[in-house]
Amino acid sequence: MTATVEAPIEAPEIDYDPFAMESLEDPHRFDGEAREVAPVVHVKKYGYYAITRFAEIQKALRDWRTFSSTDRPFYAPSPFRPRTLILEDPPEHTASKNAVLSVFSKENLAAFEVHFRAEAERILDELLADGPVEVDGFQDIAARYVLKVFPDVLGLPEEGRELLLKFGDGVFNTFGPPSDFQAAKLARASEAQEWVENNTAREVQAEGGIGWQLYAMADEGKISEHTAQQILKSIFAAGFDTTTASIASMMRAFGDNPGEWEKLVADPGLVENAWEEAIRYYPASRYGGRWANKETVLGGVRIPEGAKILTMWLGAGRDPRQYTNPDEFHVDRDLKGGHLSFGFGIHTCAGNLVARLEARTLLRAMVERIATIELVGEPRQAVNYQAFGHEYVPVRLTPKA
């Protein structure tokens, strides 16, 4: 007896506006509500499709030939967002990603780790020198650490590093509808954009630094000089704002769940898993983008040829079909099925190895030194079209005896 195959349905239309201020201020609620409508929905106001659930996003990202990265909703050329890597498919993407993976080699990562650990320990020892201390987990820990260690390995000057967070904020507000909100964000980032342009030029790269290595590849004919600069600019775009936001969000997760910090301190072997759980719980990027270069069916829903699509990472991170009690934070959660917070497939974030190394190194140093983490005020979430994070996390850190 032949099994009946159900005909695909049309994507349900939803009135949800992902870019309304209420959605930006509470994306877990609103993206979660969209996820429960269907695995693929049609966002009526803007005419794009959204893939909302874990399994369907993962399936789409495996099939880059159907779900191409070369276009997406709201894309327009921007000095804040280079096309390299993000808006490429093979073979161009393969060459660009190989260049990034080359500068993030095991040898380079080993050298980075030594520096990352030394700076993490120095910062924490200074903060905890006089006993229990109240700090802002965003500014005093996440930003202070990330704006020190990663610019150091990039060979950037000390002056102007704070502009990298403004640049990242601008980058992650480019993919969205034109609005007064977007215009204000990009205007705020304009000074940072000029600093980034100046510091990605060949002539200012410190010998041996990542930028220097990329331009050396151009000299060897592996990539073009233009691609070298665009890759370096992409690293600037994604390497600071999201990592800082992720670490600050992790601080909030522990502040809200002090028992999980106690569990981690009792079993430091959970550090790696705890970090992965933190970025599942609070992904630094709310969505990605694709377009369908042929008609296809996903999760029983028809997606027409030419459809522009958002892949909703943040909502998928709390998909109850994938995770038990997804709105809870557990450092010992079974994450064998992974998460989508760095993307998936060939377009998995090329800098994920560095981001993971930065965060885990800091978290290990924290576990070695801090007995308790307690919230002492109301955290403040940052508001951004695409990025997700916290810009203020007031916590009290009590050092180990």
pLDDT higher than threshold 70 for residue 3 = no
Res. 17 pLDDT band, cuts 50 70 90: very high
Place of tokens 């990472």: 313
CA distances from 37 to 15, 315, 325, 365 (A): 12, 12, 19, 42
Instruction: Give the per-residue pLDDT at 232.
Output: 86
pLDDT in tens, 254-272: 999 999 999 999 999 999 9
* Residue spans of alpha helices (H) in 220-295: 225-238, 241-256, 258-266, 271-281
94-120 burial by CB neighbour count: b if 16+ within 10 A, else e? ebbbebbeebbeeebbeebeeebbebb
Structural contact between residues 379 and 390, judged by C-beta atoms closer than 8 angstroms: yes
Structural contact between residues 370 and 399, judged by C-beta atoms closer than 8 angstroms: yes
Report the amino acid identity of residue 76.
Answer: A
CATH superfamily of 9-399: Cytochrome P450 (1.10.630.10)
pLDDT in tens, 52-88: 999 999 999 999 999 999 999 998 877 777 777 788 8
CA R_g for the chain = 21
pLDDT higher than threshold 90 for residue 193 = no
Res. 30 pLDDT band, cuts 50 70 90: very high
Structural contact between residues 180 and 277, judged by C-beta atoms closer than 8 angstroms: no
Report the amino acid identity of residue 106.
Answer: K
pLDDT in tens, 284-314: 999 999 999 999 999 999 999 999 999 999 9
Residue 400: left (phi > 0), alpha (psi -120 to 50), or beta?
beta
How far is Cα 134 from Cα 202, in angstroms, rounded to an integer?
Answer: 42
Residue 110: its H or E element = helix 106-127
Question: Average pLDDT of 152-158?
Answer: 85
Res. 346 pLDDT band, cuts 50 70 90: confident
* Residue spans of alpha helices (H) in 257-288: 258-266, 271-281
pLDDT higher than threshold 90 for residue 171 = no
Question: Virtual CA dihedral for 276, 281, 286, 288, nearest 10 degrees?
Answer: 40
Closest Cα to residue 91, out of 227, 202, 218, 212?
227
